[in-house]
Amino acid sequence: MKGLEELLGYHFRDPSLLKLALIHRSRVNESGLSVLETNERLEFLGDAALGLVVAEFLYECFPNQLEGDLTKRRAVLVNLNSLAHRAESIRLADFVLTGGGDLLSGGSSRRTILGRSYEALLGAIYLDGSISSVRQVLL
């Protein structure tokens, strides 16, 4: 976990949040965990935190653009492909716990899992720190 924290540039005060952010739903069937013990709720929160930070960034960077143009720019930045790219840049696949089969070996499911796990990680950072912590990691 320390290696992931170094790659993120963020140190968790509550390591249990980091661990939870790394448990994919596919792990439930073989581990005895409940669905509530996976990263899905953190993913929901991380998506909202990500949206806020990116919206604020675009609002400040493009003061002369209207809502529609800002929305298009946000869509380019916030999508599963770009999130998966960010996840790959910190080698998140090395840390995410999935269920049977090698879900992270390749293909579109890999990118989906990585992108959503990155959102969960942002949700964990938000709960552990603040929206400022999420902003620091993203920007």
pLDDT value of position 38: 92
Give catalytic residue positions: 47, 119
pLDDT value of position 33: 81
pLDDT value of position 119: 97
Determine the residue type at 111.
Answer: R
User: Which is nearest to 112 in space by CA: 39, 32, 7?
Assistant: 39
Digits of tens for pLDDT over the chain (139 positions)?
Answer: 889 999 999 999 999 999 999 999 888 877 778 888 899 999 999 999 999 999 999 999 999 999 999 999 999 999 999 999 999 999 999 999 988 766 666 666 888 999 999 999 999 999 999 999 999 999 8
pLDDT value of position 45: 98
What contacts 107, CB < 8 A, 6 or more positions away? Answer: none
How far, in Å, are 46, 55, 114 from residue 41 at the CA level?
A: 9, 22, 15
How far, in Å, are 13, 61, 102 from residue 111 at the CA level?
A: 28, 29, 13
pLDDT value of position 102: 62
Are the C-beta atoms of residues 52 and 123 closer than 8 Å to each other?
no
pLDDT value of position 107: 65
